[in-house]
Chains A and B, each alone.
Chain A
Amino acid sequence: MVEINDLSFGYTRKENLYQQFSIYFKSGQIYGLLGQNGSGKSTLMKIIAGLIYPDSGNCVVDGIDSKERNYNYLHNLYIIPEEFDLPDMTIASYVRIYAPFYDAFSKDQFATYLKEFDISPEEKLHKLSYGNKKKVLLSFGLATNVRVLLLDEPTNGLDIPSKKTLRQLIAAAATPERCFIISTHQVHDLENLLDHLVVISKNKLLLNESISTIAQKISFVPFSSRPAENETLYYEKSFTGHIGIVANKSNEEGKINLEVLFNGIIAQQAKFNQLFKPNN
């Protein structure tokens, strides 16, 4: 569905954010895109959305190169950026003007999503708070029914009930034809929603595995005291003592602690690389 081949890109000539970077996002999956600040998550999303062109390599969505950036490329793709600006009009006007650009846009779905977020379609966009504007944009994005939905920090600015609503809406909107790519630092917000985890660091793909595979290979164990170095792949302090990541010997899928996993991958890249090698 989304194919990135040998991508090289840098904002300056001296420093390349991506060098020969390749990844494939398939349909029917909800991807979590994790990385530290400045690791290139938003840049990757902009490249997929055709907002930035690669210096070399390419990004292909459904067989169309992002460099084309024509209607055929864009009409099946919607990006909800972290920073956005909405025009000075009512929500109803916004839909009337922008919905015609998306063939599969559903006004009924949009109304339902707005209702779920407790927002009236008669409200004026510029009078809404950042969080409520984001809810409108999320509702619109989901209602476009595009095949590729890119969400950059979607839970930023949302209140706690809205985060739950968003999780429910995304889960309900996910179909085998659609692909959701969600970039976030708030991993707890989307913990039970993701099907696949991608962790990137500048130019490196640190992890690209399904949640199921991850759960089969590792488990999270609480320790009352500090564990020995060879006892875990990674450990860190928790409220009750320590929590460690260990190789899963039972093959039973346990619950994944995304925050600990992310910290572990960043701190112990070699160990996790070894564990998640294709033939391991």
Chain B
Amino acid sequence: MKSFSSQIQSFSFHRVISLILEYYHRDKKTLLISAIALYLFLFCSLLLFKRYGESDKENDILQYALQVGCIYLISSILSVHYFCTLRLKPGNISALSLPCNAIERLLSAVIVTMIAFPVAYSLIYVASYFSTLPFFSSYTLRFYNFDPIGIGWISIIGTFIGTPVLFLWGGLFFKRSPWIKTILASILYSGINTAITAAVFYVIDPTWDSFKFLLVPKEAAYQNGEIASIFNSPFYIVWSIVLLTCMLLASYHLLKEKEVK
């Protein structure tokens, strides 16, 4: 606690910015190449969806899957590798002895993975969408403000925040193959979330149907907003915030205790 308060006292946002710049300049080439590759991938995917999508509805779902899938995949890779210099020899000595607080390091990661990345990704998505207009002028841009499968967009934002939180933790916790191991951990995480949701369900409707409904939701449940009402329920939101806060605290602790051995 004393350590935490001393970190807060010497906190500097200027150093957080310096850490972000340090991250950007260190990985500039990889980031730029990845951005170009992503743009091309999104552009080709959007073209294919429009060309072969049977209906507007199907096209919407494909766009949605593309957005969420890419966000999840890229965000997880970006987050799990954010602190890779602390993990890999011999660069870890220079990285860990850089004068800054653990809390500043964590905040820089949060800003990059939860703010800068979604913004950059959205810009690339929009750019690739506009690039398809010469081919299909009637193409409708579907963005985060739609919800074709009825999960509820607050939960989608939760996923966009939850993914980096989970993978930042994974990148610090697992020394080898952190991405794969974090995926496995995230399955466990999802299991816990499902169990909690099921428990909430059971309180509302104490029958076996509630569990069955959660495991194999009927399409109607998405359509009439039942699923959205679960994921957007205050309890679920509060629980998610508590879980994410715990994971961020765990990441802070791992950063603080990181050693070069």
Q: Which residues of A contact B22 (CB under 8 A)?
A: 97-98
Contact B99 A51 (CB under 8 A): no
Contact B90 A70 (CB under 8 A): no
> Which residue of chain B has its CB nearest to the CB of A81?
B93
**CB interface residues, A 117-152, toward B, < 8 Å:** none
Q: Which residues of B contact A87 (CB under 8 A)?
A: 25-26
Are A74 and B25 also in contact (CB < 8 A) when A67-B3, A81-B90 are? no
Q: Which residues of B contact A74 (CB under 8 A)?
A: 97-100
Contact B25 A100 (CB under 8 A): no
CA distance A87 to B85 in the complex (A): 10
Interface string of B173-194 (1 = CB under 8 A from A): 0000000000000000000000
Among A46, A50, A51, A100, the residue within 8 A (CB) of B18 is A100
Interface size of B in residues (CB-CB distance below 8 Å): 33
Interface string of B88-99 (1 = CB under 8 A from A): 111101101111
Q: Which residues of B contact A72 (CB under 8 A)?
A: 6, 10
Residue among B6, B99, B259 having the largest count of chain A Cβ atoms under 10 Å? B99
Interface string of A78-116 (1 = CB under 8 A from B): 110101111111000100011011100000000000000
Q: Which residues of A contact B233 (CB under 8 A)?
A: none
CA distance A74 to B88 in the complex (A): 20
Among A50, A68, A86, A89, the residue within 8 A (CB) of B6 is A68
Give chain B nearest CB distance to A207 CB in angstroms.
27
Contact A101 B18 (CB under 8 A): yes
Give chain B nearest CB distance to A42 CB in angstroms.
10
Contact A51 B98 (CB under 8 A): no
> Which residue of chain A has its CB nearest to the CB of B27?
A87
Main secondary structure of the interface of A (DSSP, over half): loop
Among A52, A68, A84, the residue within 8 A (CB) of B259 is A52
Given contacts A70-B6, A71-B15, 10 further A-B contacts (CB under 8 A): A70-B102, A83-B93, A85-B88, A85-B91, A86-B94, A89-B25, A93-B25, A97-B21, A97-B22, A100-B14
Q: Which residues of B contact A233 (CB under 8 A)?
A: none
Q: Within 8 Å of chain B (Cβ to Cβ): is A30?
A: no
CA distance A136 to B14 in the complex (A): 25
> Which residue of chain B has its CB nearest to the CB of A49?
B97
Give chain B nearest CB distance to A157 CB in angstroms.
14
CA distance A11 to B259 in the complex (A): 11
Q: Within 8 Å of chain B (Cβ to Cβ): is A53?
A: yes
Q: Within 8 Å of chain B (Cβ to Cβ): is A245?
A: no
CA distance A87 to B88 in the complex (A): 13
Are A71 and B100 also in contact (CB < 8 A) when A53-B257, A100-B18 are? yes
Q: Which residues of A contact B15 (CB under 8 A)?
A: 71, 100-101
Q: Which residues of A contact B259 (CB under 8 A)?
A: 51-53
Q: Within 8 Å of chain A (Cβ to Cβ): is B12?
A: yes
Give chain B nearest CB distance to A47 CB in angstroms.
10
Contact B260 A69 (CB under 8 A): no
**Shortest beta-carbon contacts, A-B, top 3:** A85-B91, A75-B99, A74-B99
Task: Report B's interface with A, CB cutoff 8 A.
Answer: 3, 6-7, 10, 12, 14-15, 18, 21-22, 25-26, 28-29, 88-91, 93-94, 96-102, 104, 256-257, 259-261
Q: What are 11 A-B contacts defined by CB distance under 8 Å?
A: A51-B96, A51-B259, A70-B3, A71-B10, A71-B15, A84-B91, A87-B26, A97-B18, A97-B26, A100-B18, A101-B15
Contact B93 A84 (CB under 8 A): yes
Among B7, B18, B89, B97, the residue within 8 A (CB) of A83 is B89
Give chain A nearest CB distance to B101 CB in angstroms.
5
Q: Which residues of B contact A71 (CB under 8 A)?
A: 10, 12, 15, 99-101, 104
Q: Which residues of B contact A70 (CB under 8 A)?
A: 3, 6-7, 10, 101-102
Among B88, B97, B102, the residue within 8 A (CB) of A78 is B97
Q: Which residues of A contact B7 (CB under 8 A)?
A: 70
Are A79 and B3 also in contact (CB < 8 A) when A71-B100, A71-B101 are? no
Contact A84 B90 (CB under 8 A): yes
CA distance A213 to B21 in the complex (A): 49
Among A52, A68, A97, the residue within 8 A (CB) of B261 is A52
Q: Which residues of B contact A69 (CB under 8 A)?
A: 102, 256
Give chain B nearest CB distance to A15 CB in angstroms.
14
CA distance A185 to B15 in the complex (A): 37
> Which residue of chain A has its CB nearest to the CB of B94?
A84
Give chain B nearest CB distance to A105 CB in angstroms.
11
CA distance A70 to B256 in the complex (A): 9
> Which residue of chain A has its CB nearest to the CB of B25?
A97
CA distance A100 to B100 in the complex (A): 11
